[in-house]
């Protein structure tokens, strides 16, 4: 019969053996992440990528941060000892922010698909701001963007279109 001490040694040995096999089978990409962050050549590539980042990405990140702050304050209000009316209003605002965010993304995808333009769309109540990346800046293209955006809404919206070069 196997003694307890021998059983513990056997169990520990088998766990170490399994971990060693797991370590050997891990792809090299996962193991070399610390080396790539310290590599000077890769740091230069990251800087280039940041410099090449589109202004649309910056606009999206700023809008996302702004909305995230508003959402966290509304979520705190939902979990606080506020009245039921205040909690209902906070819930409705959260729901509205989620809907607006999805509508903005759908409009960006639709503009990309139908007009071939990279765009950023921001909706504030009845105002819609669109920033499009295009080498061509003319009124007919802006009119197409405005008509496309307005076609997605039942009520009239005040739409602003700005163009930026590549």
**Secondary structure (DSSP) of 75-137:** HHHHHSS--HHHHHHHHHHHHHHHHHHHHHHHHHHHHHHHH--EEEEEEETTEEEEEEE-S--
**All domains of the chain in start order, with CATH:** 56-166 (1.10.287.4300)
Phi, psi of 127 (to 5 degrees): -100, 135
pTM of the model: 0.62
Burial of 63 (0-12, 13-18, 19+ CB in 10 A): middle
Give me the chain's average pLDDT, please: 80
What pLDDT digit, counting tens, does each position of 123-150 carry? 988 899 999 888 888 888 889 999 999 9
The residue with greater pLDDT, 18 or 107, is: 107
Cα 58 off chain centre by: 11
What confidence score (pLDDT) does residue 36 get? 45
Helix or strand holding residue 67 (H, E): helix 55-79
Tokens of 35: 């080396």
């Amino acid at each position: 019969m196997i003694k307890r001490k021998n059983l513990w040694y056997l169990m520990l040995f088998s766990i170490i053996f399994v971990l060693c096999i797991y370590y050997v089978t891990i792809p090299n990409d996962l193991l070399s992440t610390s080396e790539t962050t310290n590599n000077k050549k890769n740091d230069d590539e990251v800087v280039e990528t940041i410099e090449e980042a589109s202004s649309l990405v910056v606009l999206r990140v700023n809008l996302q941060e702004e909305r995230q702050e508003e959402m966290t304050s509304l979520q705190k209000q939902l979990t606080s000892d506020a009245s039921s009316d205040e909690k209902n209003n906070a819930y409705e605002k959260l729901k509205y922010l989620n809907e607006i965010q999805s509508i903005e993304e759908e409009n960006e995808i639709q503009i990309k698909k139908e007009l071939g333009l990279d765009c950023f769309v921001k909706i504030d109540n009845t105002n819609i701001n669109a920033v499009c990346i295009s080498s061509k800046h003319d009124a007919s293209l802006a009119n197409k963007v405005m008509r496309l955006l307005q076609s997605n809404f039942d009520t009239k919206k005040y739409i602003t279109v700005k163009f930026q070069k590549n």
